[in-house]
Structure 1
Amino acid sequence: MQQLTVVGGGFAGLVAAIDAAEAGARVTVYEAHRELGGRARTASGPYRTNEGPHALYRGGPHWAWLAERDLIGPLARVPLAETLRLRLHQDGRLRRTPPVPLLRLARRPVTDAPVDRTFLSWAAPLVGERGARQAANFLAVALFHHDVGALSAAFVQERLVRVAAFPPEASYPRGGWQSVVDRMAARARALGVRIETGARLTGLPGDGPVVVATSLAAARTLLGDASLTWESGRTVLLDLALDARRGDPWVLSDLDAPAWLERFTGQDPGLAPAGHSLVQGQLPIGPGQSKAEGIARAERLLDLGFRGWRERVLWRREALASGRTGAVDLPGTTWRDRPAVDRGHGVYLAGDQVAAPGVLSEVSFNSAREAVTLAVRGGRPLHTTA
């Protein structure tokens, strides 16, 4: 039996705790907040919002791991009628079908896209600059970045293929991500994991290896390591509860500028009281832009797609997420160049901005399992960074 400390009770921290406990370690989790989940937390009613639009992708390694432990739970299925309410803002108008250039790019193999070129410079000769920009803006749903075209072509193309897959990979745990978090926490406790919430550490405990499963900024402060930095997005988050009305879009994706609005009660009516619609959106903004500019863009899209929405508002919340929307890779870099999982002296990093592969929460999952493999299981790294 080996002692392992996990700092952070979000998705990565819970994966690490469960994996280590299953390997026979004594595990203690310290979470600074009173509730577990981190960015996977779902607000307690009446409007069960996540921190921005959330989905669980079936094609990732975490899906099989969660399913084997019966941690996914019931899924909210998207009715066919809702899929027909996909709207795309293109050239100032709402359309129902994706542009051909986007579909053409989504069918290209990930291996065609080079690491050392921008997505725009690679994709424009293939489908034209306008089509390449539309495809880049479509990926606001997965990248939370204001200029996807300036990122590494290989990085962007991997996400475009996954997001635009048919049948769709995106799945929605009924009740929001909190339902998954609660099942993970119950599993951890059943394995003997000690979980302390409201416990903000100012230094590392002295016994055994430590997995720091926090944001990169929090890890930088805790470890006193200024090198723990990586590119991330900056995005405005908007949550709205509206009086439900037939004809509202299910999804409104902006192809003229990066933005995404999704009516989550389309697939899971239980996220809001009967007769109410819950809309969550995210609008990436540049370094010099304000939250107000992002909100103004959201309201213009709402004017186009949600008739009379201003008079139907029952509840509203706005936020700005800066540097906490996951890693993005610039040209010439890959996930291998991000801060390493193994920090030496028995300290390991886990989270969505460290050196592990995957899309969205898959990075947190892979880095957590890598950390436990190195700290407790005594195995070779799952994902080499050589």
Structure 2
Amino acid sequence: MHRIHIVGGGLAGLTAAITAAESGAHVTLHESHRALGGRARTGDGPRRTNEGPHALYIDGPHTTWLAKRGLLGPIASVPPREALRFRFRLRGALRAVPPLAMLRLGRRPAGSAPVDADFLSWATGEVGEDGARAAAHFMGVAVYHHDPGSLSAAFVHERLRRVASFPPAARYPVGGWGRLVERMAGHARGLGVAVETAARVDTRTLADLARTGPVVVATSLDAARALLDDASLTWESGRTVLVDLAVRTRRGDAFVVSDLDAPGWVERFTAQDPGLAPAGEQLLQGQFPIGPDAHRAEGTARAEELLDLGFPGWRERTTWRTEALAAGRTGAVDRPGTTWRDRPAIVRGDGIFLAGDQVAAPGLLSEASFTSGIEAALLAVKAAGGPSRQPSGRPTDQRGRPSGQR
């Protein structure tokens, strides 16, 4: 079998490398940074922050895939006492329960929301405008978009059902996502994958790699568009202000404050994993989607409003703070009339395959990276003349077809 090259060492690239190696291929993974992980990297030092809030959903296919390979590792759930500290801002005030109409929407059967309608219009017809708008803003946590109500009703509702499930399906890798990346990288090397870091691939280098075997491009869609010189590689994503804070511990702080007046969310991540911050400190992470022409200061101001409500005295207690603007790095969003099948296809021709969270693969947030990475690797193995069998754990879409199949 020819060698298979993986460009990009994030979740999609590591998943593709493992899948291809398990199929018997000779695999080289090329990562331009000195560290693997992409957007799943965890910061060094005493405060271990991820690039935005990250969670694994135990009802997702990638959790099963990781567990079968012994890569899932210790994961934390939200302690029941902390779950009772979930708060919502509605009409400027803090409340302990969300609107009943929002909960009713989350219990609507899967597949009941139409693809062609926008979420706000459909949800308004189901539960009224107030509940629909609150649900749309709540979903900022899962779509990282400044106007979730304008997106496809089917797209938003599928995520609402999973995010609002009870008991919560969200789990958190202990020690941050960097620990998960380390396990995946170690497993890949154990399978014989040659991992090259600080190895930047440009268009000319890519052409050289493609002459020796199939290539899986597992980068952001923006990077893939430049690398492949393919203007068609575009899809809408969010634009989000990310705020990380370490504050001195105070009894009575909220676990989560979800903004139902506008998309936004602050979560105390040390509630489920105290080791993410030094003793006596709590680590807070927030994400606040803003429009394409808005300034970062708008998201920062909204973050501080939520912090004032849920974390009294946070300014005086702050020991560390950082902010970032994530533009086009928060996964795909689907407009009315489109689904994941309409995103850029995994197969690009001439032995080139695409993986990442904005390509034609199903899943919530990082799940699209896993499913597309598996699919791209299996297609690359087949193109290289390898076995056509499917390793166990290959996800399928809701119709039972291999994920990514169009």
Deviations along 1:169-190, whole A, 9 cap, x unmatched?
A: 1001100111110000000000
2:220 corresponds to 1:200? no
1:102 maps to amino acid? M
Matched with 1:171 is 171
SS in 2 for 1:192: coil
The question of whether the paired residues in 1 share the 8 Å contact of 2:217 and 2:353 is answered with yes
2:258 maps to amino acid? S
1:343 maps to amino acid? R
The question of whether the paired residues in 1 share the 8 Å contact of 2:241 and 2:326 is answered with yes
2:67 corresponds to 1:93? no
1:127 maps to amino acid? V
Deviations along 1:124-174, whole A, 9 cap, x unmatched?
A: 011111110100111111110000000000000100001011111100110
Out of 315, 326, 331, the residue aligned to residue 310 of structure 1 is 315
The question of whether the paired residues in 1 share the 8 Å contact of 2:255 and 2:268 is answered with yes
Deviations along 1:242-293, whole A, 9 cap, x unmatched?
A: 0110111111100010001000001100000000000000000011211001
2:121 corresponds to 1:121? yes
Deviations along 1:186-222, whole A, 9 cap, x unmatched?
A: 0000000000111111121121000000000000010
Out of 369, 382, 385, the residue aligned to residue 402 of structure 2 is 382
CA distance in 1 between partners of 2:375 and 2:244 (Å): 35
CA distance in 2 between partners of 1:298 and 1:153 (Å): 27
Matched with 1:355 is 360
CA distance in 2 between partners of 1:142 and 1:198 (Å): 32
The question of whether the paired residues in 1 share the 8 Å contact of 2:355 and 2:372 is answered with yes
Matched with 1:133 is 133
SS in 2 for 1:110: coil
2:380 maps to amino acid? A
Deviations along 1:91-117, whole A, 9 cap, x unmatched?
A: 111111121011100000121110000
Identify unmatched segments of 5+ residues in structure 2: 391-400
TM-score (norm: length of structure 1): 0.98
CA distance in 2 between partners of 1:350 and 1:137 (Å): 29
Matched with 1:2 is 2
The question of whether the paired residues in 2 share the 8 Å contact of 1:45 and 1:272 is answered with no
Matched with 1:104 is 104
The question of whether the paired residues in 2 share the 8 Å contact of 1:211 and 1:347 is answered with yes
SS in 1 for 2:301: helix
Q: Map of 1:7-86 to 2, 5 A cutoff?
A: 7-86=7-86
Identify unmatched segments of 5+ residues in structure 1: none
Out of 265, 269, 274, the residue aligned to residue 270 of structure 2 is 265
CA distance in 2 between partners of 1:373 and 1:385 (Å): 12
CA distance in 1 between partners of 2:352 and 2:152 (Å): 30
Matched with 1:220 is 225
| 384 and 318 in structure 1: CA distance in 2 versus 1, 3 angstrom threshold | closer
SS in 1 for 2:348: strand
CA distance in 2 between partners of 1:325 and 1:266 (Å): 24
Matched with 1:283 is 288
2:346 corresponds to 1:341? yes
The question of whether the paired residues in 1 share the 8 Å contact of 2:241 and 2:296 is answered with yes
1:72 maps to amino acid? L
SS in 1 for 2:115: coil
SS in 1 for 2:243: strand
Pairwise CA distance, 1:385: 4.5
CA distance in 1 between partners of 2:296 and 2:325 (Å): 6
CA distance in 1 between partners of 2:174 and 2:371 (Å): 24
Deviations along 1:43-87, whole A, 9 cap, x unmatched?
A: 012110000111001111101110001111111232211111101
TM-score (norm: length of structure 2): 0.93
1:160 maps to amino acid? L
Matched with 2:248 is 243
Matched with 1:191 is 191
CA distance in 2 between partners of 1:322 and 1:207 (Å): 34
The question of whether the paired residues in 1 share the 8 Å contact of 2:2 and 2:212 is answered with no
